């Protein structure tokens, strides 16, 4: 086990998969000579060369469209979109082509494509560069959507995504790149579509993913000092959604709080809440509480931005409310 940052874990996953399989290549804006906006691919261009680390024009539709074509021809492209906000410029390719080709051609085609992108706020990048629209992409059948909250999960899930024959939308939260964690040595793989218990507890179930996991773990430490033990279920994958660990936890705690960085309305929390009410209503002793971003475009001003984003205190308050 080695302690590394999430940035290093993602970089390791890419490097190892490119060394393992010559069909894997990277394309995106400034991924080559510059080494990526977040330095994830630093050094890749010099080692793997321009054929496998391809700088592209500033055109998300071009990046995704090229990656789809390459995948259909038997390659395994990893397309980097500088931010999830720019994925909207490639929505036709992502939603109408990548997500549907396998189904529309009756399984005759596979699309081993990974789209890596960065989501979330907290870096003062303004309203059009700080959104968390993860749930939009999770809405579409045919597209796997992954969003890890730890370095170990980031590495294991990305390696699994690259080896998958299905298109995977891989979301990395912008402020998590510097977080550190233990990552198993060797060929570390985590199956896509499996939620996990990140912390055991008996009083309240907290369901979350990505940045919400970091906030929930901090809240858990503070709540523990007050003899309140929360159990944290990390979804890790938004599609396919593994709800079983959530339901099993609620049978034990009889209470649930859902934490996400996206907006409250029509969000991940809304879907998880619906599934809990449909499948575990009789196990609940109080209404579900949801913690999410305020319903405003994210401000640029740091103080206002933090006011709009979910905070540890919001989780603590929600946990105490369900008790």
Distance CA 141, CA 178 (A): 32
Label the pairing between strands 256-263 and 76-81: unpaired
Question: Which one of 8, 29, 93, 129 is the catalytic residue?
Answer: 129
Non-local (6+) Cβ contacts of 55 within 8 A are: 27, 28, 29, 30, 31, 32, 33, 34
Backbone phi, psi, residue 151, to 5°: -60, -40
Read off the tokens for 286.
């109080």
Non-local (6+) Cβ contacts of 298 within 8 A are: 121, 126, 127, 130, 131, 305, 308, 309
- Collapse the DSSP code of 221 into the 3-class scheme (helix H, G, I; strand E, B; otherwise coil) and give the result: helix
Run of H or E residues at 146: strand 144-146
82 contacts 28 by C-beta, under 8 angstroms: yes
For the beta carbon of residue 315, count every other beta carbon within 10 angstroms.
Answer: 27
Does residue 129 have an active-site annotation?
yes
Question: Which one of 16, 17, 60, 271 is the catalytic residue?
Answer: 60
DSSP structure string for 49-101: -TTTEEE--S-HHHHHHHHHHHHHTT-EEEEEES-GGGGGGGHIIIIIIITTH
List active site positions: 60, 129
């Amino acid at each position: 086990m080695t302690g590394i940052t999430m940035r290093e874990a993602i970089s390791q996953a890419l490097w190892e998969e490119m060394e393992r399989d010559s069909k894997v290549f990277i394309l995106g804006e400034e991924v080559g000579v510059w080494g990526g906006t977040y330095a994830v691919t630093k050094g890749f261009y010099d080692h793997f060369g321009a054929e496998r680390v391809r700088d592209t024009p500033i055109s998300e539709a071009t990046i995704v469209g090229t990656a789809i074509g390459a995948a259909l021809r038997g390659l395994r492209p990893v397309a980097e979109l500088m931010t999830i906000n720019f994925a909207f410029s490639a929505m036709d390719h992502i939603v109408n082509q990548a997500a549907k080709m396998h189904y529309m051609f009756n399984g005759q085609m596979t699309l081993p494509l990974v789209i890596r992108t960065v989501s979330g706020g907290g870096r003062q990048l303004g309203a059009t560069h700080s959104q968390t629209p993860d749930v939009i992409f999770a809405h579409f059948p045919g597209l796997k959507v992954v969003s890890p909250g730890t370095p170990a999960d980031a590495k294991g899930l990305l390696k699994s995504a690259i080896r998958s024959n299905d298109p995977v939308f891989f979301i990395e939260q912008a402020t998590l790149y510097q977080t550190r964690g233990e990552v198993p040595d060797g060929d570390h793989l985590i199956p896509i579509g499996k939620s996990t218990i990140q912390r055991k507890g008996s009083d309240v179930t907290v369901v979350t993913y990505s940045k919400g996991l970091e906030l929930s773990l901090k809240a858990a430490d503070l709540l523990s000092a007050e003899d309140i033990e929360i159990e944290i279920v990390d979804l890790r994958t938004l599609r396919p959604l593994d709800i079983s660990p959530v339901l099993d936890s609620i049978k034990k705690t009889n209470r649930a709080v859902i934490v996400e960085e996206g907006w409250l309305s029509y969000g991940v929390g809304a879907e998880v809440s619906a599934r809990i009410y449909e499948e575990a209503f009789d196990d609940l002793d109080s209404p579900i509480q949801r913690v999410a971003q305020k319903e405003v475009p994210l401000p640029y001003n740091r103080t206002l931005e933090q006011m709009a984003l979910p905070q540890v205190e919001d989780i603590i308050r929600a946990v105490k409310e369900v008790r």
